[in-house]
Structure 1
């Protein structure tokens, strides 16, 4: 045979290996060169391919042999059970919202916007400039870069009404994403074993952070108009809690935006009980038909601990967020952050500041709002047409998700399984309840990839619902 292709040599040797015994010695390189009429380099490339595939092994100075079949010894980690003892909280698997999926499925489960909704050019330019600056070599202050602290303070100050003292840059702590901020706030301001009031349903990551912090989560029901102030007051009285976690603007998963009047009512309840409102403004940049107004803008007495993230609106690769808190609460949160991560990368902070201070950032946001509105309406219309049994109780004025009520008795996990087999990934609503779900729900993200597939996805959901037991 006279073929100089390394792939052909490798194929020929695989056939020989299949009939030979494990441990048999291969012909020498010189013999293979003569047999295949190839150069020594080509033969070596073929042998390297077979080595990578685990078919052969070379012993220097001895020769190359068919790799002997070895029975893998099962790893025994049983000793760790005794060393670790029982976990403090129930160990959860990765949320459906964080699942990676192949390109050939319709993905309505994700918690992040598709890359085409991100300011890609701004991001790459900002990272390039940051890498060339001192930010690539220096350690920032523990609370964050002063310029970025000022930007977050100014953003909240711009909507603070007259008569209310706006936050200062020194009230701001820069975070490596709001998820770590939630963990710090719950640990620092509530503490292990203490009650924490939380909207229900609410963000699964907040539920997880609370569980890991060891706090006692007390659900407060919420709906399209937000929580009932009387129910909130009753929960404070009954539990003596000092913390209430909520998302007043475009809540995840429901998309609810609190009415303006509710801001003052909730703030009054919180003040009456000497407590804190932990306001998670995760979707501040995702308004569609309304403008988000933070409750924190109306508070200058330190009752609102305000979280704002850039991770979803800028890029998931730039995990930068901030918490704005005043008084001793701020110092406790900063101390917890120091123990957790010391500081946030100067490179990421510098890049984030560069992006949000460019004139093109505002232009990008205006286009983003229009695109989100188009996607939201496309998905809602597709569901009405192809999955009429899936009820959208509330079309959100912003955010990334539709919260869909299913017929009573629907097995949401079986439904998700059936949809996935047909090529559609959805997120069962059970993850967003800190206690028992109040009904069967799914959360559908309209900011994910390939909106042209929304009708097909809705059709799959409708067909799966039709096969659910009546």
Structure 2
């Protein structure tokens, strides 16, 4: 008897068995059917596959085959998705930290979190006008140049500085997508990657989703420590280091020029890439430090410049600058993963960035950042003197606050929400165990400086509830 006829025979037997047993019943095991009818397990498996295609049975890995029901769900009982656990494997994608950063504050709760400007601080009129001009262009709904429209790439190249040209730039869908894209392209699953510690939680989540093993390198008030970076490269064998040299998230540190040269020298000696997340380029007050890539002539640095932090969350446009084989891989990976960034969004970004509205917005934001930073620091000094600001940054969106060593950080965050204020737990900024309890407090998500002061007052009340230490809740 040939295989086809054996499969048909077993399928007919099991079809009759299913009709007799009724919906939801478990069919005999593959081993039992093989023994009973003298056929191999492959024949039984193919017969069951044929019945599953007919909708007669449902197979559940690890449980067996069951008679399909007549209900819309097809199984006759509650849907069982447990089979997916085996199919998906053991690699998890964690989104809790990113969800925390993106979730809006409930009504009546003051946000001292978020990485975006309050709606009143966003250049909505300028963006709306730019979008209106962009969509009037005749070719706006067509396929753009695959690496990005030339004028926008040229703008990103100029901002990067040094000898970067538009041909070095790839336009992608925002900073988070740029990081995930670079991590996957430059370091394969299972490989080590170095990051600053603490660091941006979205980068940690993207690295772990890419299957990378993350090791943290400590920072001080001038950014990552070059001596420990060199040691980490030697110990782990990593060939990728992710960092934020300007207004590091969350500490606010900015690397001075000598430190930047040291970091580049260490990476070159290790034969490693430096992924420079330049998210805060337009959040500095005063002169913007030269980027790492402007000092790099050897293709060591992959530079990411994104726009949503300084403008609006949905202006998800970023420029990724790279040279050499890494650039070719990044472009190829972008093409096969997502084709291109929609042209209307690219054209809107270009219209806005080349208009007077962009220059006006940057001037307005620079003044606002200083006022809010100082207001937040003053509120902490007044209402919560036990909390220490590690560094008063030259711009940015937040302050990194050290709590007394015995503080239960998780309990404080939960108590703060009950008091009506959202704060960012420090633990989620560390790739491993944090050295001490911290909070990251954002000053640009609140409506105004008065709301900032009220948020800190509520935080002080929450702190008083979770610690036995005396604290000055108000004066």
Q: Tell me which residue corresponds to 2:103.
A: 99
Q: How far has the Cα of 1:291 moved from its partner?
A: 2.3
For residues 181 and 77 of structure 1, the distance between their equivalents in structure 2, rounded to whole angstroms, comes to 36
For residues 317 and 91 of structure 1, the distance between their equivalents in structure 2, rounded to whole angstroms, comes to 22
Tell me, yes or no, if structure 1 residue 128 matches structure 2 residue 126. no
Gaps of 5+ in 2: 1-75, 469-475
Q: Tell me which residue corresponds to 1:465.
A: 463
Q: Which moved more, 1:86-95 or 1:275-284?
A: 86-95
SS in 1 for 2:400: strand
Q: Tell me which residue corresponds to 2:159.
A: 155
Tell me, yes or no, if structure 1 residue 390 matches structure 2 residue 372. no
Q: How far has the Cα of 1:193 moved from its partner?
A: 1.0
Tell me, yes or no, if structure 1 residue 138 matches structure 2 residue 142. yes
Q: How far has the Cα of 1:83 moved from its partner?
A: 5.1
Q: Deviations over 1:354-402 (max 9, x none)?
A: 1011123112201110011101110110011001111101011121011
For residues 425 and 109 of structure 1, the distance between their equivalents in structure 2, rounded to whole angstroms, comes to 6
C-alpha change, 1:329 and 1:462, in structure 2 (3 Å) is same
Q: Tell me which residue corresponds to 1:170.
A: 167
Q: CA RMSD in A?
A: 1.6
Q: Deviations over 1:226-254 (max 9, x none)?
A: 12111111111111211111000011111
Q: How far has the Cα of 1:89 moved from its partner?
A: 2.9
Q: Which moved more, 1:427-436 or 1:344-353?
A: 427-436
Q: How far has the Cα of 1:467 moved from its partner?
A: 2.2
Give aligned pairs, total.
391
SS in 1 for 2:196: strand
C-alpha change, 1:306 and 1:82, in structure 2 (3 Å) is closer
Tell me, yes or no, if structure 1 residue 403 matches structure 2 residue 400. yes
Tell me, yes or no, if structure 1 residue 441 matches structure 2 residue 438. yes
1:174-323 → structure 2 map (5 Å cutoff): 174-323=171-320
- 1:387–1:463 contact (8 Å) kept in structure 2: no
C-alpha change, 1:74 and 1:122, in structure 2 (3 Å) is farther
For residues 77 and 411 of structure 1, the distance between their equivalents in structure 2, rounded to whole angstroms, comes to 39
For residues 135 and 282 of structure 2, the distance between their equivalents in structure 1, rounded to whole angstroms, comes to 26
Q: TM-score, normalised by structure 1?
A: 0.80
C-alpha change, 1:284 and 1:74, in structure 2 (3 Å) is farther
For residues 262 and 142 of structure 1, the distance between their equivalents in structure 2, rounded to whole angstroms, comes to 36
For residues 116 and 285 of structure 1, the distance between their equivalents in structure 2, rounded to whole angstroms, comes to 18
SS in 1 for 2:466: coil
Q: Deviations over 1:266-309 (max 9, x none)?
A: 11111111111110000110012552321111112101100000
SS in 2 for 1:95: helix
Q: Deviations over 1:408-427 (max 9, x none)?
A: 12111111111111111111
Q: Tell me which residue corresponds to 1:453.
A: 451
Q: Deviations over 1:158-189 (max 9, x none)?
A: xx3xxxxx111110000101111111111111
C-alpha change, 1:436 and 1:172, in structure 2 (3 Å) is same
For residues 165 and 114 of structure 2, the distance between their equivalents in structure 1, rounded to whole angstroms, comes to 35
Gaps of 5+ in 1: 1-72, 161-165
- 1:107–1:425 contact (8 Å) kept in structure 2: yes
For residues 378 and 80 of structure 1, the distance between their equivalents in structure 2, rounded to whole angstroms, comes to 54
For residues 437 and 428 of structure 1, the distance between their equivalents in structure 2, rounded to whole angstroms, comes to 11
For residues 74 and 350 of structure 1, the distance between their equivalents in structure 2, rounded to whole angstroms, comes to 52
